[in-house]
Amino acid sequence: MADNARAKRLADLIREVVAQKLQRGIKDPRLGSHVTITDTRVTGDLREATVFYTVYGDDEERKAAAAGLESAKGILRSEVGKAAGVKFTPTLTFVMDALPDTARTIEDLLDKARQSDAKVREASAGAAYAGEADPYKKPGAEDDETDDTTE
């Protein structure tokens, strides 16, 4: 079993090699310039690598990019093998990164919270407290009231 530092170095190398090859070496129009490699993870035994990617575009472009990456998997793996110089080149698995969708969902929720806060702020702008300005009894205040009525 390899150490974590070696797996991390190999993951970084895989990310760089795959990104460069997608940018310069693959002539598939489905991949184009709108595919971005975001992260790479390698298992502890250095046999499998998961490559996370994002696609700028709609669902059709995402499906086309996934198909393009699957078809270019062999070429990309051979390039990783040349660059890494390891005994066994890890198999590549491409996974769509959920980070942009998660970030968009969080931003939508934060916008809703801001709108709700603004509505509460508007509703409370002219509001006054229920009761007196100072609802607490002060010591001696009750004695003063009884003294005034007896005189």
For 5-52, write each residue's pLDDT tens digit: 888 999 999 999 998 888 887 887 777 778 888 899 999 888 999 999
Please check the confidence at residue 112 and state whether its pLDDT lies above 90.
yes
Strands (E), the chain: 35-42, 48-55, 91-96
Q: So what's the pLDDT on residue 141?
A: 65
Which of the pair, 30 or 60, is modelled with greater confidence?
60
Within 10 A of 79 (CB to CB), how many other CB atoms are there?
19
Taken as a whole, the chain contains a residue count of 151
Per DSSP, the three-state class of 104 is: helix
For 76-106, write each residue's pLDDT tens digit: 999 899 898 888 989 999 998 887 778 889 9
Residues 6+ apart with CB under 8 A from 49: 10, 11, 14, 40, 41, 42, 43, 80, 90, 91, 92, 93
Task: Kindly report the pTM of this predicted structure.
Answer: 0.68
Cβ atoms of residues 11 and 41 within 8 Å = yes
Nearest to 14 by CA among 62, 49, 53: 49
Distance CA 15, CA 18 (A): 5
For 114-140, write each residue's pLDDT tens digit: 999 999 888 888 777 777 767 787 787
